[in-house]
Amino acid sequence: MKPQYWFRWFSEHGVPRYAVRAAAKQGDRFAELVGGPTGVSDPYPLIERMRGDGPLQRTRIAWAGFDHDVVRSILRDSRFGVRNPVGFTTPRALQWIKDAAHVPANPVEPPSMLVIDPPEHTRMRKPVASAFTPRAVRKLGDRVEKVTVELLDGLPDDGRTDLIASFASRVPIAIISEMLGFPDSDQDLFLEWGDRMTPLLDIGISWRDYRGAFGAMNVMDGYLRAHIAKLRANPGDDILSTLVSTGDLDDYALAATASLLMGAGFETTVNLIGNGVVQLATHPEQLARLRAEPELWPNAIEEILRIDPPVQTTARTALEDVEVGGVQLRAGATVVVSLAGANRDPAVFTDPDRFDVGRENAREHLTFSNGIHVCLGASLARMEGVFALRSLFERFPDLALDGALRHRQLYTLHGYRALPVRLGHRAPRTVPQPVS
């Protein structure tokens, strides 16, 4: 790999990596949260200790906010953006070398809508938004149900399986892949690229992980451009074909959008399903309640999203001097906002560490973020979550965890790499129920 890429890694991740390590050694709890083993496996006790230090705190790495009110107001405030306006993290000389590296289209760099501010953000988001309205998503219900049922039918008869590999990752990848017009046979490729690229969301990843992610991005970029060329010649009935035919976005922007939708479409929902299995399997009384009151399933999904969010955190940068949570921030200050922290704020959620599928205000969680970057796929994720988890526990009523759970070694995306279960006896298929 060319030296420019090493410089990109050094300025974006290498410097923060060493800063996080040094801060963790000096006892900085936030550094431990984003860079230590605790942040990966069980971040919640550490988050609670940090909450005690105030709604917005200066850590050695960045400002950090854990309370619902502060997190929500920052996400909704147009004086904050997702781009760093001052570019203070990269010295000028390095910036020049860094810019010389060709960056393949990818979800975490412009023009991906996730990391750009208005007015470009509006231009990139608007054409995609119509495919994800609650109405458009309801129309996908039959498809989600069919995929779920087929996957459950295919689970092994010996009753043991890793549910991440055999089910939780398969439902969302099948749906988003079809929505974007990719052949089913390429789903494994996307799972592999996604796995290699997701570390990019974390702070201070290793050169090895960065190189792996960049390699995957390069291959995926080539694949997406070839796919877009095919759709240009022979459009189908999918979101990408619609975007290609309107002609508003060039190929680079189209490829960035496709890679974002692919990544966001399954790398998060897999964790909703996986984390949901763990919550329900370890809280049999909540599962019993869902059996008695199946109309609670949609609320149970909100509670799973609240208590163990697949995306733990995001960040914003102050675009001007601004006061928030009683603290004066200078333009250019970066604030890491903890969605997981907001979701367990005792000022909003009574007894926040308790998993309660009947919790009345579970939906006030911030797991899908808020403001202009609020998750475009929230309705789809909710629908997939209800179908997948309800059908799984109805088909396999005795399902139980079986052996050690392995976390993904990531801080931003929270979920399991492997989820071994014993399925127990297989109940007959039930008549599909409406999900909301």
Residue 390: exposure state from Cβ atoms within 10 A (0-12, 13-18, ≥19): buried
CB of 371 to ligand HEM, least distance (A): 7
Alpha carbon distance 22, 9 (integer Å): 18
Smaller CB distance to ligand HEM: residue 74 or 244? 74
**Interaction between residue 313 and ligand HEM (CB under 6 A):** no
- Cα–Cα distance for residue pair 260/59, rounded to 1 Å: 30
Considering the rule CB under 6 A, would residue 264 count as an interface residue with ligand HEM? yes
**By beta-carbon distance, which residue lies closest to ligand HEM?**
377
Footprint of ligand HEM on 156-185 (CB under 6 A): 176
CA distance 73 to 68: 8
Question: Which one of residues 20, 105, 311, 348 is an interface residue with ligand HEM (CB under 6 A)?
Answer: 311
Residue 378: CB minimum distance to ligand HEM, A = 7
Stretch that binds ligand HEM, among 20-28, 65-73, 260-268, 342-350 (CB under 6 A): 260-268
Question: Any contact of residue 65 with ligand HEM (CB under 6 A)?
Answer: no
| From 186-194, 217-225, 309-317, 422-430, span contacting ligand HEM (CB under 6 A) | 309-317
Spatial distance between the Cα atoms of 431 and 17, rounded to a whole number of angstroms: 52
How far apart are alpha carbons 68 and 339 in whole angstroms?
8
Kindly determine how many residues on this chain lie close enough to bind ligand HEM according to the rule CB under 6 A.
23
Instruction: State whether residue 33 is helix, strand or coil.
Output: helix
CA distance linking residue 390 with residue 393, whole number of Å: 5
State the Cα–Cα distance between residues 396 and 407, nearest whole angstrom: 23
Cβ-proximal residues to 411 (8 Å cutoff; 6+ apart), any chain: 33, 34, 35, 39, 40, 43, 202, 203, 312, 313
Cβ of residue 431: shortest distance to ligand HEM, in angstroms?
A: 26
Rounded-to-integer distance, Cα 386 and Cα 109, Å: 32
Among 260, 335, 342, 357, binds ligand HEM (CB under 6 A): 260
Write out the binding residues for ligand HEM, residues 370-409 only, by CB under 6 A: 373, 375-377, 380-381
Binding range to ligand HEM, per CB under 6 A, among 6-14, 66-74, 239-247, 307-315: 307-315
Residues at the contact surface with ligand HEM, assessed by CB under 6 A: 113-114, 125, 176, 260-261, 264-265, 268-269, 272, 310-311, 314, 367-369, 373, 375-377, 380-381
